[in-house]
Amino acid sequence: MRRLAPLRAELMRGDLRPLYLGWLAGSHDLSDDALEPEVPPGLATLSPPQEALVEFLEIDPDLLAAAAAASPDVSPGDAAQDDRIDAWLRELPREEMAAVLKLLAQGLVHQAERQVRLRHAAWLKAQHVSTPPSTARRILGHLRELAEAASVARLKREAKAHTRQEAALRRKREAQLRLVMNDADKRWAAIDVQVQRGTASAYDEATKALAELADGYALTSSREAFERALQQLLASHAKRGALLRRLRDAGLCVA
């Protein structure tokens, strides 16, 4: 709930994204011909509290992506907007400015911000400053169709990303196995020393090392070559039942 607490302050600042997200969360109970509310800007770049709200309400990410497609970006003010704000501040009566500063001094930050926004909006209206036209509202059925298309596109992206990740891991693994095979003789000798210790932990480590060698032989040579080398190793350790049991469990030895 601590992650959701800042939503109140966002709403008081006039950010309507949390309300739209609430509508999305409840839209599964609505018919296809239900009209969506006005789409607020910035749905594609939610704040951390809003992302927590999406998670808490379990909003379908594909439905959210469909809704965000019609949401304008939240961008910093341009030079023309800055000039309008400067003009408004020059005309702002002293008593109105004092009232806002008093609210700030009293720690009533949200109320002060709301007053500033309301007065600025009223000034813009009086100046006949046009605002960007709102996006045409869609019916829920259309949003659901867009969400289905977004789902298909997302699954394709995820499949491609998974394929690339698997390929990268495979290349990394093959590089590691080639390094192993570069000094295979030393590794066989080290495994022999490990087995001679005769402890459970030594057998476990030897089994892991042999499994890696098996993969290395499969990549650079053949399974038969590995099995021949393994038989040479086991020739002097045939009575180590605990080791043989581990090798059988690992699929390295059938004898």
The structure tokens 């909003």 sit at 59
Identify the three-state secondary structure at position 64. Answer: helix
* Shared-domain flag, residues 154 and 41: yes
* Shared-domain flag, residues 244 and 141: no
Q: Which two tokens stand for residue 51?
A: 């992302």
* Shared-domain flag, residues 67 and 137: yes
- CA 245, CA 255: separation in Å to the nearest integer? 10
* Shared-domain flag, residues 59 and 21: yes
User: Is residue 121 domain-resident?
Assistant: yes
Region 84-106 average pLDDT: 84
* Shared-domain flag, residues 66 and 138: yes
Q: What is the pLDDT of residue 129?
A: 56
Q: pLDDT grade, residue 81 (50/70/90)?
A: low
Among 196, 184, 203, CA closest to 249: 203
User: Is residue 48 domain-resident?
Assistant: yes
* Shared-domain flag, residues 89 and 137: no
Q: What are phi and psi of 107, to 5 degrees?
A: 80, 10
Most distant CA pair in the chain, distance: 99
* Shared-domain flag, residues 65 and 85: no
> Minimum mean pLDDT among 77-91, 167-181, 219-233: which range?
77-91
Tell me the pLDDT tens digit for each residue of 176-220: 999 999 999 999 999 999 999 999 999 999 999 999 999 999 999
- CA 201, CA 212: separation in Å to the nearest integer? 17
Q: How is 76-120 classified by DSSP, letter by letter? A: ---HHHHHHHHHHHHHS-HHHHHHHHHHHHTT-HHHHHHHHHHHH
* Shared-domain flag, residues 11 and 54: yes
Tell me the pLDDT tens digit for each residue of 37-72: 989 888 999 999 999 999 999 999 999 999 999 888
- CA 230, CA 248: separation in Å to the nearest integer? 12
User: Is residue 171 domain-resident?
Assistant: no
* Shared-domain flag, residues 41 and 156: yes
Q: Which residues are CB-neighbours of 68 under 8 A, at least 6 positions away?
A: 43, 44
Region 71-99 average pLDDT: 76
* Shared-domain flag, residues 96 and 68: no
User: Is residue 155 domain-resident?
Assistant: yes
Q: Which residues are CB-neighbours of 174 under 8 A, at least 6 positions away?
A: 219
Tally of structural domains, the chain = 3
User: What is the percent of the chain with per-residue pLDDT over 70, rounded to a whole number?
Assistant: 93
Decide: pTM greater than 0.95.
no
User: Is residue 176 domain-resident?
Assistant: no
Q: What is the pLDDT of residue 79?
A: 61
User: Is residue 212 domain-resident?
Assistant: yes
Range of the domain at 226: 183-249
* Shared-domain flag, residues 46 and 143: yes
Tell me the pLDDT tens digit for each residue of 114-173: 788 788 777 877 876 555 555 678 999 999 999 999 999 999 999 999 999 999 999 999
Check pLDDT > 70 for residue 77.
Answer: no
Q: What is the pLDDT of residue 75?
A: 56
Q: What is the pLDDT of residue 130?
A: 52
Q: What are phi and psi of 35, to 5 degrees?
A: -90, 130
Q: What is the pLDDT of residue 110?
A: 76
Check pLDDT > 90 for residue 25.
Answer: yes
Q: What is the pLDDT of residue 83?
A: 76
The structure tokens 């008093």 sit at 102
Query: How far, in Å, are 111, 161, 177 from residue 75 at the CA level?
Result: 24, 30, 51
User: Is residue 168 domain-resident?
Assistant: no
* Shared-domain flag, residues 107 and 201: no
Among 212, 210, 206, 180, CA closest to 193: 206
